[in-house]
Chain A
Amino acid sequence: MKKTSIPLHRNPKLRSLAVQVSLLFLVFYALFSLYSTTVSNLEDRGIKTSIGFFDEIAPFKVGYSPFLDFKLGETTYIEVFFIGVMNTLLVAILGIIAATFLGFFIGILRTSNNWIASKFALVFVETFRNMPLLLQIMFWNFAIFLAFLPPPKKSIEMGLFYLNSRGLHTPLPVIEDNILSFIWFGIIIATIIGAFIFAKRAKNNFERTGKSVPVFYYSLIAIFGIGFLSFFALGKPLGVEIPVLGKFNFKGGGQLPLPLFSLWFALTVYTSAFIAENVRAGISSISKGQIEAARSIGLSRAQMVRMVILPQALRVVIPPTISQYLNLTKNSSLAIAVGFEEVVAVWANISLNQTGQALIIIAMTIIFYECCSLLTSFILNMYNKRVQIAGR
């Protein structure tokens, strides 16, 4: 038998190799030429691209930096970057916590069999997710809060929280004795670990003997009880700083200036509309048969929710909700519209205009967000692997 030879240009392996190599070459050439034109363009404007500006003193004021002390004339550019990053993370974490609670609440209302509650949730979701977030941030900040919140002297009191046209003022725990509070944290963490071990043992015991213990309540009582007792036994190592009305505004405690408060509020409402949709989809994804089966084997209502409904609903709810957390973090960059000093406002805008180091500054901003994005997809993949239904 004669071996037929394929002409070189028709050999699929060779062709694919040629396509890929030339594509790679093209992309690298394009990137390289973009980079070199940018560097030379910057040099024409008298800007030498280097990281030397990191240690220069930033000539502008950053008003809000709760984690790093900002001193005009001392703080350097790289510190400004970290202040921005921390402010972004702060609003992201606050937003994620609030949006999760509100989103689950609205989502559960949506599936309620009370007609008026479910329709209210529907209107909430459709209103807030179909309007641009930027518009909502501006609306709350400029049209509502700035216009209608009272001045500091007439603040709205909510327990120890004070809301006025300057922002929200909250009580803040302060460490009064370093070593003792360290010990106290240690005790709490040890109790929580103990509760986990107890839960595992109780589960093993349940599977062996069928006797169940109310693990959750026992752990709760243990953690709170031991927490309180040791808190007083150690002589109150933590104090609370309460905001006090000064001459112009509240001093002390936690401060959320109005831009941060408006941003937090708008991000919470906007994101919770999406989370509520995820929750609704999760709850309605459970087939009726599951609930009927749970009833017929005699599970109590609480057991049914905990062992049948939640594990299945959360599998549907959690992945898109984690993506919403990432979206919230990215959306916090809209703070620039109301003047909250997060990373885009303080770094990609002010610092960029001051130094002209476009290449480095934009690259660092993007790398920061890419890190958040990678972290999110890493968590998502881990979760998906854990809850994957085996054997399909």
Chain B
Amino acid sequence: MSENSTNFIKIPDREPPINSIGWLAWIRHNLFGSTTNTIITVLFFYFFYLYIPPFVDWAILNANISGSDRSVCDANKAGACWTFIKVRLDQLLFGLYFATNPEEIWRPIFVFALFGMLVVPLVIDSTPHKKWLLMILLTIYPVIFIAVVYGGVFGIPVSDTGQWGGLLLTFALAFVGIVLALPLGILLALGRRSEMPIVRALSITYIEFWRGTPLITILFMASVMLPLFFPSGVEFDKVVRAMIGITLFQSAYTAEAVRGGLQAIDKGQNEASMALGMGYWRRTMLIVLPQALKISIPSIVNTFIALFKDTSLVSIIGLLDLLKMSQNASRSLDWNGYDIEGYLFAGFVFWIFCFGMSSYSQKLEQKLDTDRRSE
């Protein structure tokens, strides 16, 4: 047998043609694939050539960062004035009170660091006991935040909320919004899917009412009408008023995010637990909610991103959040005329947080999409 069969010797594969591999082929395919493609590429390169080099010159190469007053920047108008941001950084991040009392500045730094220590492990996939970390973040952390930043306990001097500002205030408003709106939103979402018609109607009215109104109107309402709602003598300070407005507003959006999760749960889950003889609350707390909340995390994060951006509206009712702080700083006598730098810095800080959160929520969405619906 073996004498008759021919021996096949494998010749090594030929190299693919030179113009179909490597970076050259990539460029040909992705930038100059067709005539239209080539025109688009050339136009974009021209556009970049016009605008990017001057911007880089202004923002980096010619920029000023040394010194501590405006004389450096005024001497070199061709570049951005980052000196201004450097000098005012404490104010922009922590507000007036902590910027003027350097011995107290550990307090905002401490709460930010603690927040980072709690959030970073939450984002990493392999961390054990995430549930407990999240619980600590949502329950114990706010208490620590108030104790350390507001003070008044353990001999920590009180910092008046009227003096809160900068990123610290932005963070506090957004955090309060999410922590208080979450339970409220879950209740509303359950109410909207309830079998009791009156409960359902009330929940729908509440949710649609807040969702239909712009936040700025709600903040006006909170700052003008809240004192009128209560018998005279009951006083709220400005920050608390804004927090109440934001919480009511945010709870409606959280409710819609949670409802999306509730709708995605198979009816059989509820029916099976009913067959086991569980009552409504046990069914909801043990079977339905744990699954629904997990699914709705990405949308909850998305509503949180929107809220984080929207906290900047409190600057219109006179609170000194990050945006207002940088605007004020660039309109102060010392730094008048450096608006662009102020807005760019505030925008950059907002961008980092929002972009980080949205990337995380997209990653999570892909991870949770176990049946690959999106492909």
A positions within 8 Å CB-CB of B: 16, 19-21, 23-24, 27, 34, 37-38, 41-42, 44, 112-117, 120, 126-127, 130-136, 138-139, 142-144, 147, 330-331, 333-334, 336-337, 344, 348-349, 352, 358-359, 362, 365-366, 369-370, 372-374
Contacts and interface: CB of A to CB of B under 8 A. Distances in A.
Given A143-B340, A373-B211, A134 B313 contact: yes
B12 interface: no
B350 A115 contact: no
B228 A38 contact: yes
B345 to A, nearest CB: 11
Nearest to A133: B309
A50 B312 CA distance: 34
A116 B316 contact: no
B176 interface: no
B55 to A, nearest CB: 13
A23 B199 contact: yes
A143 B343 contact: yes
B contact residues, range? 35 or more
12 contacts: A19-B199, A38-B229, A113-B30, A116-B45, A130-B305, A132-B323, A135-B343, A135-B347, A138-B343, A330-B214, A333-B216, A370-B212
A218 to B, nearest CB: 28
B310 to A, nearest CB: 7
Given A114-B30, A130-B358, A38 B315 contact: no
Contacts of A117: 40-41, 44
Contacts of B198: 20-21, 23-24
Interface residues of chain A: helix, strand, loop or mixed (majority): helix
Interface of B: 30-31, 33, 37, 40-41, 44-45, 195-199, 202, 208-209, 211-214, 216-217, 220-221, 224-225, 227-232, 305, 309-310, 312-313, 315-316, 323, 327, 339-340, 343-344, 346-347, 350-351, 354-355, 358
Contacts of B213: 330, 366, 369-370
B202 A127 contact: no
Contacts of A147: 339-340
Interface residues of chain B: helix, strand, loop or mixed (majority): helix
Contacts of B346: 135
Nearest to B231: A37
Contacts of B323: 132, 134-135, 138
Contact of A132 (B212, B309, B327, B355): B309
Nearest to A285: B374
A309 B229 CA distance: 54
Given A41-B232, A358-B224, A362-B220, A142 B40 contact: no
Contact of A131 (B31, B232, B327, B347): B347
